[in-house]
Amino acid sequence: MLYFRREILDMADNSANGNSGNTVVVVNQPASSAIGICALVFAIISVFFLAIVFVPISLILSIIALIKKQFVWAICAIIVAIVSAWLSPTIWFALGIGSSL
């Protein structure tokens, strides 16, 4: 919002001085947290079905979210994905852990 106010003041100064040039107004939008939200959604889906597919997707998206500094979403998604992997018998058998039970 700071940039927006400065540009409006510049525009007012230019019109007061007789300069009627075009002024570009730059508005900075906050960063989106879509990657972190997607990671958490995939982690929640993996609790209910196809954990062997959705857990790795969730973990990859969580790493990307951590890189983009979306810490809360990423950490929540990692926790849910780890719990989902722990509860999934398919992942246990894929890792060879389920055969010893």
Q: What whole-number distance in Å separates Cα of residue 41 and Cα of residue 48?
A: 11
Model confidence over 31-52: pLDDT tens digits? 788 899 999 999 999 988 888 8
Give the residue extent of every domain in the chain: 1-30, 31-100
Residue 70's closest CA among 46, 28, 34?
34
**Would you state the pLDDT for residue 20?**
58
**Mean of the pLDDT values across residues 44-73?**
91
Q: Cα(98)–Cα(95) distance, rounded to whole angstroms?
A: 8
Confidence of residue 95 (pLDDT cuts 50, 70, 90): confident
pLDDT computed for residue 78 by the predictor: 94
Record the pTM: 0.65
Tokens of 41: 């959604």
